């Protein structure tokens, strides 16, 4: 039992409130995942300045980054360090660090502990932007570590959050490894993220990638997948993991529980529905 929240803004006037709203949503699903939490945010000029490559790292710090790469901008956010530099440059300078997200206009922040306290440590309430995804985790398939927290971001500007479990993740992991795909954790959700990223890299759009996932993966799941221009939701064939979508002219939001949607402005006028089994829903910027 994990908690998922996501917010895709259509109204630019709401962008200064992205982090505030996402933090409020995250706070409503703490009981679903008290072990750890994470967010991916799109469009915050401090975390991800326009036109700059940004890398989110675990296993390092602002002080270490700035010591080995003088002049590089780094920001500490609990266990995560956000760095304004290229992946290759960082891999050479900090080979022990783990990349948990990279791309332009995009940053991933995650850690272990109480999700509300983590949101404060991330400074989430002050984040701006046009899209955000969050997750609170109750670990079932792997250890409680920052690496095991969601979102899993394994392609440029892409991320996946998951409520449920994949029954055949070991088989698909072996298949992906045989194709040269590398993994950072034992988490079953990372297998889903790697599968989707691999399909996108091969030319599929998010809808096709998630349809293929439904064909290949067994288990119970609700997934929220975001990219630099899209926001997508899918559930398994039984749809036993809860999910609600709310849509207005100003925003589209998804959450595991209604109370996480009730904090949003204009919710009283929203079209609210439960996603159908194995139907892929995609909204684009």
Q: Is 181 exposed, middle or buried (0-12, 13-18, 19+ CB in 10 A)?
A: middle
Q: Are 26 and 116 in contact (CB under 8 A)?
A: yes
Q: What CA–CA distance (Å, rounded) separates 105 from 272?
A: 29
Residue 2 is among the residues annotated as catalytic for this protein: yes
Which member of 2, 159, 177, 214 is catalytic?
2
Question: What six digits make up the tokens of 47?
Answer: 């975390």
Residue 14 CA to its chain's centroid (Å) = 20
For residue 171, give every residue at least 6 positions away whose Cβ sits within 8 Å of its Cβ, in sequence order, or none.
none
8 Å CB contact between 39 and 109: yes
Contacts of residue 70, defined as CB under 8 A and 6 or more positions apart, other chains included, come to: none
Q: What is the dihedral of CA 135, 34, 263, 241, to 10 degrees?
A: 60
Tokens 């792997």 locate to: 142
Point out the residues that are catalytic. 2
């Amino acid at each position: 039992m994990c908690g998922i929240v996501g917010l895709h803004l259509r109204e630019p006037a709401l962008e200064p409130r992205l982090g505030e709203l996402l933090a409020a949503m995250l706070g409503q699903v703490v009981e679903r995942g008290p072990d750890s939490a994470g967010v991916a945010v799109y469009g915050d000029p401090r975390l991800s300045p326009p036109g700059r490559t940004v890398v989110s790292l675990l296993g390092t710090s602002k002080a270490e980054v700035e010591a080995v790469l003088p002049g590089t901008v780094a920001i500490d956010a609990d266990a995560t360090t956000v760095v304004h530099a290229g992946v290759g440059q960082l891999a050479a300078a900090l080979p022990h660090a783990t990349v948990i997200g990279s791309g332009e206009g995009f940053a991933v922040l995650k850690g272990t502990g109480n999700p509300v306290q983590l949101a404060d440590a991330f400074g989430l309430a002050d984040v701006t932007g046009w899209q955000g995804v969050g997750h609170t985790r109750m670990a079932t398939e792997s250890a409680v570590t920052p690496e095991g927290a969601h979102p899993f971001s394994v392609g440029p500007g892409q991320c996946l959050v998951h409520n449920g479990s994949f029954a055949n993740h070991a088989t698909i992991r072996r298949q992906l490894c045989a194709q040269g795909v590398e993994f950072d954790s034992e988490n079953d959700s990372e297998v889903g993220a790697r599968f989707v990223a691999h399909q996108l890299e091969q030319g599929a759009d998010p809808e096709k990638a998630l349809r293929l996932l439904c064909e290949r993966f067994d288990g119970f799941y609700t997934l929220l997948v975001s990219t630099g221009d899209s926001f997508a939701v899918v559930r398994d064939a039984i749809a036993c993991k809860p999910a609600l979508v709310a849509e207005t002219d100003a925003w589209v939001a998804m959450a595991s529980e209604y109370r996480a949607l009730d904090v949003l402005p204009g919710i009283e006028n929203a079209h609210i529905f439960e996603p159908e089994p194995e139907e892929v829903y995609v909204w684009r910027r």
